[in-house]
Amino acid sequence: MKLSLNKLMVTVLAVGGLAATGFADDPKVNPWNGQAGDGNWATAGNWNEGVPAAGQRAVITGGNTVTVSSETPATGSIVVGNGTAATLDMTGGKLTAETTHVSTYQGEYTATINLSGGQLDAGVLMVSANGEGSQSGVFNMSGGTLTFKFAFVGTTANGQFIIQGSKAEKLIGNNLQVGKTGELKFVLDANGVQKLYLNSRLIPNAGAKLTVDATAYKGNGPVTLVEAKGGNADTKLDGQFEAGNITIIGRKGTVKQDAETGEVSLILEGR
């Protein structure tokens, strides 16, 4: 039976407990205060309730930048940016959450997660997928390992999922939905780019953008960007990126979206 991602989104929001008014009355919230002064996630004094633990909601706002470089206890959810800007830089270690939110509440701000090392088990990953407005959410991966159950990018506000280069170790999830204000972007290095592997489906909504920057790529052969296996769903690619919303930078070529194999590939013309 085909899974309804819209129904799943409603379920996720209900379970996550995100409200339009923020988290002021939520007893599970553990806000970042940065009082220890070292910017380190694993320092207890940087949080109102100590290092986030199971069942808690770790909330980073106020323009703060937080670094994860060591293994930390699993937490209920991570919220980066809730009405104000915030950045989470993961350079090493391991971080596990049931849900991971990048940009949640309305406002003029940008929230970012940068993954350059370590292992992030994001659970349900939501990048600008809760709260309509002019805010922006960015998930930027240049290294390390990312796993997720479901990912929603730009379904309610501007959201980007950026995969940079070929140095990431693993990038694997189940479903990825790119919304009407979302962008899936691949930035190739000389050797290509880490492939996005999906156990189930890629779901580009109408208006979703696909950008491929091949400026630094030295090869000429096809580059597989996405491989979706379909799982128990009826389709592997549930929809396609519209031609007018596909941008290739730095090289001449086309993007092939193969519904039968579930692959999205960059096909380059010779230099």
Q: What digits encode the pLDDT tens for the residues 35-49?
A: 999 999 999 999 999
pTM of the model: 0.91
Helix, strand, coil shares of the chain, percent, nearest 5, are: 5, 45, 45
| Exposed e or buried b per residue across 87-103, where buried means at least 16 C-beta atoms within 10 angstroms of its C-beta | bbbbeebbbbbbbbbbb
Closest CA to 210 of 247, 164, 172, 250: 247
Asked whether residue 180 carries a pLDDT value surpassing 90, the answer given is yes
126: left (phi over 0), alpha (psi -120 to 50) or beta: beta
User: What pLDDT is recorded for position 106?
Assistant: 78
How many Å apart are CA 100 and CA 50, to the nearest integer? 19
Distances (CA, A) of 70 to 125, 140, 172: 21, 19, 21
Chain-centre distance of CA 7, in angstroms? 20
User: What pLDDT is recorded for position 132?
Assistant: 76
Asked whether residue 15 carries a pLDDT value surpassing 70, the answer given is no
**pLDDT tens track for 39-85:** 999 999 999 999 999 999 999 999 999 999 999 999 999 999 999 99
Residue of higher predicted confidence among 269 and 177: 177
How many Å apart are CA 262 and CA 106, to the nearest integer? 35
Tokens standing for 178? 């790119």
- Is 98 within 8 Å of 119 (Cβ atoms)? no
User: What pLDDT is recorded for position 16?
Assistant: 41
Tokens standing for 57? 């909601």
Residue linked to tokens 């128990």: 232
Residue linked to tokens 């962008």: 183
Residue of higher predicted confidence among 104 and 53: 53
CA dihedral angle for residue 75, residue 78, residue 82, residue 86, rounded to 10 degrees: 120
User: What pLDDT is recorded for position 55?
Assistant: 94
User: What pLDDT is recorded for position 22?
Assistant: 54
The whole-number average pLDDT for the span 80-97 is: 96
How many Å apart are CA 225 and CA 14, to the nearest integer? 32
Asked whether residue 7 carries a pLDDT value surpassing 80, the answer given is no
Task: Give the best-scoring range by mean pLDDT among 124-138, 159-173, 221-235.
Answer: 159-173
DSSP secondary structure string for all residues of 57-104: EEEE-TTEEEEE-S----EEEEEE-SSS-EEEEEEEEEEEEEEEEES-
Chain-centre distance of CA 87, in angstroms? 13
User: What pLDDT is recorded for position 56?
Assistant: 96
- Is 122 within 8 Å of 92 (Cβ atoms)? no
